Structure 1
Amino acid sequence: MIIDSHGHLVAPPSFYGSWTYLEGAGRHHGRRHLEIDEAAHRAAADEHVRLLDAVGTDVQLVSPRPFVLKHSARPKEIVHWWVSHNNDAVAFEVKQHPDRFRGLAGLPQADGEPIESVFEELERCLDMGFVGVLLNPDPSEGRGTTPTLGDPYWYPLYEKLSASDVPALVHSAGCFGRENYSEHFISEESLAIGSLIEADVLGRFPDLKLIIPHGGGSIPYQLGRWTAHYARDARPGDRPYLDRLRDLWFDTCLYTQEALELLIKVVGHDRVLFGTERPGSGGHLDDLKPVVEAIEFLTQQQRNDLFEGNARTVYRRI
């Protein structure tokens, strides 16, 4: 079996168009006006399955499309309504094809709110059968006002995720300023790893499961620089940088064999989940099954772990 751990909602254009009304009316719009066009969403879900069939994927973990989540929008109420609406759309897609999809919930991380404000939506989605969450490390969306993931601001969420055995895919959303969203993703993933390691978050929360997508940003490929930076401030008895790096999980959404081979060599095959984002930014490159199969140093068991076993280890609710 092949479990793709990194996929996003496929929805009709009309779904995203509903944001225009919500943004324009603000808190006067009301959550009640956000509805699912079942026929259009059913057709989109069917197309999503066709795209997975074309590359041999059996199950995909689906979350809202991150760059449209509008975490920095005002007023804060519309962020909660909009993210909840996206989660409803994911739940509808899963319901249409329960043997092909599992849901990862978007969190309504309204910029500037306490992290505890997401708990109600998190609980609602777990009650609906979601198997994990999407965690945006920068709900300010490039404005530079969000604490990094090593900050105690995040600890109540880490405690809740750990207690419930709910993994989090660390995936930034939209951004403003010099970066496009793809550049922002990679920058925030690198910053996330650095701050998590510096604060030894996984030492504080050993049961926390955090997956860093897109191969971990820059970190595995600039390992020497980050190791040297860490060693400069390390104290006697601190665990080595690489040990802390291997507390995290990563996915294969890198698209090239050379990069994927380096990731596996650095963090180990047992810390890497198969993930493609299909359909996403990779285009024709998101057919990653042949790429994994072409890596000669992997045994068949290790390939099976990458394709299925590691995802089941992390996402036990599957």
Structure 2
Amino acid sequence: MSRTEVLDTHAHIVPRSLLSALEDAPVAGFSARRTDQGWVVAVPGTGDTRPIGARMIEPAPREAWQRQAGVTRQVLSPWLDIQSAPLNPARARDWARTVNDAMAESAADANTVALASVAVDDGDRAADDVLEAWKRIEFAGLILNTDPPAGPAPHEATYDPLWTVAAAEGIPVVLHPPTCGPSGDLTSLGTMGNVHGRLIDNSVAVTKLILAGVLDRHPALRLVLVHGGGFLPYQAGRLDGGYRTKEAFAGELERGKPSAYLGEFHYDTVGLSGPAIAFLAGLVGPGRVLLGSDYPFALGDPEPVRTVRESGLDDAYVEAILHTNAETLFRRPA
């Protein structure tokens, strides 16, 4: 293949500069401290995060993993656990800007790009904050929590000003479920919350976006679904049935059924097998599939490049998934 770069679109980081700053002085109620197990961030309203290891913080382990996995560059995402806090609007905006400053610094140091964060309690302010972040060359997109702990959900009308700006500016928006989402109420999941719960959360959130007509109102949106879109692409026929019987219905859709919108999203390959990647590419088109690892988490894909190559897709499609699709999607306008 002629590929010169492999771009991982789903990789998390907690900037060391952010942790050091929080150790010195809290910001918006957040603080950080060192423990025997690693750094811990105290999140207002929810308590301490899990210990944050070196793979999430330090560049050396990240670079070593990239060499081993055949990844040449990553789009850096903030860790959702340090964003899931029930903050008042002023504090939420202060915290998002603090995280953005640290993410921009890390992206510049790594010669790559990052995803920005915004507070979403007020749609008009969120739209202004997106434009503010988009002026910074270090950011190539936006990351949104599919179930924010305070404020509206992405399918609600409050988001419309944000969606309008994102569509007009061509800003990619990555929709990511939180560690503790609505599926946490399913006690029968037991220890499988991270195995299946996140996929349920993503599937439900994206379904609500479709049913609420967000893509009808904002057809130019560039939305990225992590974890292969959860269960949604593989059970779309059942959703269509629910729309037909009004069990999954919020209003008439311009395209007649929910599955007609699946080709408008982009999907990463995290957690998918080679055959699942081939199915997804066949369903939505290989130009809509992006390499993702979910680094540094154990449930991510330790060999994402190999997984894509095992899909059996043509070399040109494999190269597109490994690099071209993401380079096109996350390329900043000149």
TM-score (norm. length: structure 2):
0.76
Partner SS, residue 275 of structure 1: coil
Counterpart position of 1:116: 124
Counterpart position of 1:146: 152
Partner SS, residue 103 of structure 1: strand
Residue among 296, 300, 303 paired with 2:315: 300
> Percent identity of the aligned residues?
24
Counterpart position of 1:35: none
Q: How does 1:194-273 map to 2 (within 5 A)?
A: 194-233=207-246, 238-273=255-290
The superposition leaves residues 213-256 of structure 1 with CA deviations (integer Å, 9 ceiling, x where unpaired) of 10111112222311211233486973443321111111101243
Query: Is 1:11–1:45's contact at 8 Å kept on the other side of the alignment?
Result: no
Partner SS, residue 264 of structure 2: coil
Asked if residue 15 in structure 1 is aligned to residue 31 in structure 2, the reply is: no
Asked if residue 106 in structure 1 is aligned to residue 117 in structure 2, the reply is: yes
Asked if residue 172 in structure 1 is aligned to residue 181 in structure 2, the reply is: no
1:24 and 1:126, CA in 2 relative to 1: closer, same or farther beyond 3 A? closer
RMSD across aligned positions (CA):
3.2
The superposition leaves residues 66-124 of structure 1 with CA deviations (integer Å, 9 ceiling, x where unpaired) of 12213423x443332332222222111111121xx211102223xxx212333444233
1:293 and 1:82, CA in 2 relative to 1: closer, same or farther beyond 3 A? same
Query: Is 1:4–1:59's contact at 8 Å kept on the other side of the alignment?
Result: yes
The superposition leaves residues 13-72 of structure 1 with CA deviations (integer Å, 9 ceiling, x where unpaired) of 98189389446589xxxxxxxxxxxxx99x813332222222111221112111221342
Separation of aligned partners in 1, 2:168 and 2:146 = 20
Asked if residue 82 in structure 1 is aligned to residue 95 in structure 2, the reply is: yes
1:162 and 1:24, CA in 2 relative to 1: closer, same or farther beyond 3 A? closer
Higher strand share: 2
Structure 1 gap segments, 5+ residues each: 27-39
Query: Is 2:104–2:114's contact at 8 Å kept on the other side of the alignment?
Result: yes
Query: Is 1:71–1:108's contact at 8 Å kept on the other side of the alignment?
Result: no
Asked if residue 125 in structure 1 is aligned to residue 133 in structure 2, the reply is: yes
TM-score (norm. length: structure 1):
0.80
Counterpart position of 2:163: 158
Number of residues paired by the alignment?
293
Shift of 1:182: 6.3
1:25 and 1:190, CA in 2 relative to 1: closer, same or farther beyond 3 A? closer
